[in-house]
Amino acid sequence: MLTKARIEAELNKIGVKPPKIVFYESTDSTNTRAKEYAKNNPENREKVIFIANRQTAGRGRLGRSFVSEAGAGIYMSILSYPNECGYDATEITSEAAVALSRAIESLCDCCVVIKWVNDIYLGGKKLCGILTEAEMTVDGKIAYQVVGMGINVYKNAISYEISDIATSIEHQLGNAPDRSQLVARIISECLSPVHNTYKEYRARSFIIGKNVQVIKSTESYSATVLDINEDFSLSVDRNGNIERLFTGEISIKI
């Protein structure tokens, strides 16, 4: 069972002071709940973590739905209030991907990899997705940011319709960690100072040198990935022209 009490107990076991946790047995979307909390509590400046056993309207990037069956995965969002100007969703998402990867590997005998910019893969299929959202103030500062994470833990997280592209920890390893333990490890990694995130993110990438389809809001085109840059942007070769991607999406061409 995934419960707030068990998560807090697991955090205490690994020496992490539990932050404020809002737990739902079922909700529409933890990102939606986090943003609503931020708007209703403007005086709050501390991290708050929203966790659900089930989501009825889980969301991914580009408005896609994220299947969130009860008891099947981990659905959580971290609300924070950075005191700085500007907003780099790509960097924030990349740092979360590294934290998630570390947490999964700390409990599972596996090696996960990252597909730019927000997906974690295991066994050649998508295991986790990350959705970063933020609200800006009129003077260009970040009012708040929300990093949402969805991890497929057990086999019932994957429907037949998406089984060719998505997987779960249980599918790949034959077993899965206790969800409360995994949530505690994720929180611990996300709250810890991150060092050399770029180097680790790049080392975990499996797309460098691959032919991909770049998907933007206004166009789609074929390209070859050259490298991931220190600002987490992507350098690609588009018919001999070198382009740098800060936003967008890629799919790997078979």
pLDDT in tens, 67-111: 556 678 999 999 998 866 566 888 999 999 999 999 999 999 999
Angle of CA points 98, 100, 104, to nearest 5°:
120
Q: Provide mean pLDDT across the span 175-184.
A: 96
- Residue 231 is predicted with a pLDDT of 93
- Report whether pLDDT(61) > 60: no
Tokens found for residue 43 = 């005086």
Question: Does residue 166 carry a pLDDT above 70?
Answer: yes
Tens digits of residue pLDDT in 132-143:
999 988 877 788
CA neighbor of 104 nearest in space, from 19, 59, 170, 60: 170
Q: Residue 36: its pLDDT value, please?
A: 96
pTM of the predicted model over 0.95: no
**And the tokens for 126?**
């998508």
Residue 31 scores a pLDDT above 90: yes
CATH top class, domain 4-204: alpha beta
Q: Which two tokens stand for residue 25?
A: 């047995």
Whether the pLDDT of residue 65 is over 60: the answer is no
Amino acid 63: pLDDT = 53
Do 116 and 129 meet the contact criterion of CB atoms below 8 Å apart?
Answer: no
Asked if 179 and 74 touch (Cβ cutoff 8 Å), the reply is: yes
The CATH architecture that domain 211-252 belongs to is Roll (2.30)
Distance CA 222, CA 206 (A): 17
| Kind of pairing between the strands at 220-228 and 211-215 | antiparallel
Letter for the amino acid at 128?
C
Distance in angstroms (rounded) separating the CA atoms of residues 145 and 95: 14
Cα(84)–Cα(145) distance, integer angstroms: 12
Domain boundaries, the chain: 4-204, 211-252
pLDDT above 80: residue 66: no
Is it the case that residue 59 has pLDDT exceeding 70? no
Average pLDDT over residues 14-35: 95
In angstroms, rounded to a whole number, what is the distance separating the alpha carbons of residues 201 and 179?
24
Q: Among all chains, which residue has been given the structure tokens 């061409």?
A: 253
**pLDDT at res. 254:** 60
CA distance 243 to 51: 38
Burial class (CB within 10 angstroms; exposed 0-12, middle 13-18, buried 19+) of 253: exposed
Contact 50, 193 (CB under 8 A): no
